[in-house]
Amino acid sequence: MTATTEKMLALEVEVPIASFRQSRAREYAETYPVPPPSTVYGMLLSMVGEMDRYKHCGTRLAIALLSQPQKSTVIRTFRRFKKKDIHDPSNARPDYQELLTDIRFITWVDAGLDNSQPTLPERLQMAFANPASINRFGGLCLGESRDLVNAVTLLPKNYQGQSLQWLVCDENGLLTLPYWVDHVGSKDTRWQRYLILEPSDLYHPPESAWTLIQAA
């Protein structure tokens, strides 16, 4: 399926600091080196004030990195509910967490199989054209609530800027990322294998860069 320019837009996203916790991480909270498609999709829903994540299933996303985020490790308090009393000291313990700083990327959003009216790209376009029309709450985050987005910029259709590192689907890729997350358990979480390509001057998403957002 070929993306149509009428139902596609590109957004540049800048996040000073964030952590994209690996799904299988336990005591040591490792981060993915790039924001997973599921995380980017959640941020886009938040932008337009949509609380139903099933609303725009069928949307396609493509992601290209603009920066090489630096990784650091901090120690912080994590909560795991082992006791019914949420204030029980055994529910909180310090653990290590990896953080990424200077996260900058472009995401292309294509209506794809999104049958909603308006589609997600159209709602995003309306959000930029008339921000007062959006009914939402809280800060815009990429992942955890503390990982606030610094800026989101709508790019022109003929964008040509710095070299991009495309995140592309590859069945032999070493990077496995979720495109749909089961927040109740884990059995319905869906994954895709990816590669991060070397920087190039390709400014339109190749077909292999598109990820279809769909529920289990």
At residue 129, the 3 state secondary structure works out as helix
Q: If you average pLDDT over residues 24-48, what whole number do you get?
A: 88
| pTM, 2 dp | 0.87
pLDDT of residue 29: 76
Other CB atoms within 10 A of residue 84 CB: 7
* pLDDT tens digit sequence for 183-207: 555 667 888 999 999 999 999 999 9
Q: If you average pLDDT over residues 172-178, what whole number do you get?
A: 94
The one-letter amino acid code at 174 reads L
Which candidate, 127, 157, 167, 155, places its Cα nearest to that of 43?
127
At residue 212, the 3 state secondary structure works out as strand
* pLDDT tens digit sequence for 65-106: 999 999 998 776 655 556 566 666 555 666 778 999 999 999
- Distance (Å, rounded) from C-alpha 59 to C-alpha 120? 7
- Identify whether the C-beta of residue 99 lies closer than 8 Å to the C-beta of residue 74: yes
Domains of the chain: 5-73+100-212 (3.30.70.2660)
Other CB atoms within 10 A of residue 150 CB: 13
Which candidate, 92, 69, 70, places its Cα nearest to that of 81?
92
